[in-house]
Amino acid sequence: MGDARDQANSVTSRGRSKAAMVLTAVYVLLSLAAAALPLLAKEDESLAGVFLALFAFPWTLALGSLVDRFGMDSLVFNYVVLLLGIFVNAVLLYWTVSALARRLSAKTSAQP
């Protein structure tokens, strides 16, 4: 029974959680697909960037204040800020899931 728990909560030899790597990879792939939608959309599809904004949330809220503060309302600037938001979210997701996996692994190894 302990072996099954250890495999389910497996942490690689370098201390990296496999679950964190998989979840972060899925998030990044879905985010890249969402980032490609506005580029592939026709000009009349104004809601093509909604998914990109959702994956970059809450940094999309900061984007509005940056546009107001610096007056930079260009598509490239908005796109770069949203991609940076996705990167920050991916790092936070990885750290959070890794910490949870380590905590869960420590709890299961401490049980008799």
List the chain pLDDT tens, one digit each, 112 residues.
445 445 444 555 455 788 899 999 999 999 999 989 888 887 766 787 888 889 999 988 877 777 778 777 777 888 888 899 999 999 999 999 999 988 888 777 776 6
For the record, the structure tokens of 102 come out as 């380590």
Instruction: Tell me which H or E stretch contains 12.
Output: none
- How far apart CA 34 and CA 13 sit, in angstroms, is 33
Match 């996996």 to its residue by tokens.
101
- Respond yes or no on whether the N-terminal peptide bond of residue 58 is cis (omega within 30° of 0): yes
- How far apart CA 21 and CA 24 sit, in angstroms, is 5
Cα separations (Å) of 59 from 10, 35, 53, 83? Answer: 32, 15, 8, 10
Radius of gyration of the chain (CA): 19
- Return the domain boundaries, the chain: 2-110
- How far apart CA 68 and CA 90 sit, in angstroms, is 26
Amino acid at 7: Q
